[in-house]
Structure 1
């Protein structure tokens, strides 16, 4: 008799989100460190949060108890810098707005980051805008000036919010929206989730085909939508932004392959352990199919209640 296969064991690698999945601010999400430590698959931690460098993120994860090198971290700044580098000459000046991770990513690909305070003295060919806790109104004004002057505008990500240990804070999408109001259009390119480039960069780094990677996240509109765009299966964990009710109402391009209360699902065999992981995911699929078929509201409500009941039982395991 063959040994049971875990959910993670069905894939060749994992791309795992961080905020709301592994940690909230400085603190670890319950069960996350143990679950990831017990996984035997290669893991890349992919984050839309562009403010920190991979070195800083890796140090944070090590402090929480996860073995992690900078190369195990992929940021939307890195994906964005790669997109800029593909379209401008080496050494080009690029306006860097956001935390230290934005400038570091540009240097990594052979470009010259220009800070907002220096922007008026340089001809910049592109803008890479990411999140930074210290981003000011003056910084956003420089983005608007550069974009209006013809610079290519690349956003690291468009997350409207950022989960923290104190609650939900405005994310890079909120800062992007301010510039968008000024210039009258959206960024030319978005590198992070829900666009595909960040996930595809991770697959390339892992040397694994996208369809053999499991993407893990807590947000339907970024992590899960990005996985669908990249051709990856996905696991939605209910430890961050989106809850089961939001998942049950998700449109097709934001529907996860698997749903679980937390990362312990990685080390569960969906065909054993009382079949709870498969049962919960199957219950979610039943609701989605009913919505797509235009079933009566009463039928959808009954199926949704069934899914909530399965989740409630799992939470008390």
Structure 2
């Protein structure tokens, strides 16, 4: 028996690092399944849709229904389609995010002067010209959103700049912060997760490797939080941090210790 009926699991740094499966995470996933705990994967990766993680994890024997996956890209697309219908979105982001937005019937524009909304995200082709155009798009005070706050992204051999780094540059030139971040740890993200799981926050567990996104999401929504040390955060980062996890685990493989 367990107090939990659902678990929100981060992916990058919790289940995988880059394209590689982290050691023994299948043990943790099996533990959750054996306990009858519903599972939702929630990645702040703004370049991936819901189908990607099933394709990535299937070779490892992990079955993932796309309906049990959220990403900052899919949450952002759903939010913009609902709250800004028929408005033109100027995107600073990847081609993959562009495709996800278009699939959600979000209207995009390449003209910064015709933007009704601006969305900032991870963009590996980000340049001075992109920054200049984003400044033009933001000058009239249009709604400004970010997909996620992650300043870096873990890869196989280190880290690369993430959406948070792009957003910081956009904020600096426009002299304004985003009106909202749509991925973790936002209220938008928490609501999307709870709607998908249909569970009570008090009986939901959040597991991830970032204090400012995964753990903050759980704290915001009244869930139990567990930080794993297989990603961005290490034990030295926890001391004195504003957001504190309820549990600290070496990896997802140790999830049984808190069930």
- Structure 1 length-normalised TM: 0.74
Structure 2: how far apart are the matches of 1:42 and 1:139? 42
Q: Sort the Cα spacing of 1:113 and 1:43 in 2 relative to 1 into closer, same or farther, 3 A.
A: farther
Q: Which has the larger radius of gyration?
A: 1
Q: Which 5+ residue runs of structure 1 have no aligned equivalent? A: 271-317
Deviations 1:246-276 (A, max 9, x none): 223223xx11111111112223366xxxxxx
The aligned residue for residue 142 of structure 2 is: 151
Alignment of 1:17-36 (within 5 A): 17-36=10-29
What's the CA shift string for 1:206-242, capped at 9, x where partnerless? Answer: 1112222111111112211121112211111111111
5 Å matches for 1:115-264? 118-120=110-112, 123-251=114-242, 254-264=243-253
| In 2, Cα distance between equivalents of 1:49 and 1:150 | 27
Q: Measure, in 2, the Cα distance between the counterparts of 1:61 and 1:151.
A: 39
Greater relative contact order (Cα 8 A, min sep 6): structure 1 or 2? 2
Are 1:77 and 1:101, in contact at CA under 8 Å, matched by a contact in 2?
Answer: no
Q: What is residue 46 of structure 1 aligned with on the other side?
A: 42
Q: Number of paired residues?
A: 256
1:95 paired residue among 40, 65, 90: 90
Q: For the aligned residues, what is the CA RMSD?
A: 2.1
Unaligned runs of 5+ in 2: none
Q: Which structure's residues are more often helix, by fraction?
A: 1
Structure 2 length as normaliser, TM-score?
Answer: 0.89
2:30 corresponds to 1:37 = yes
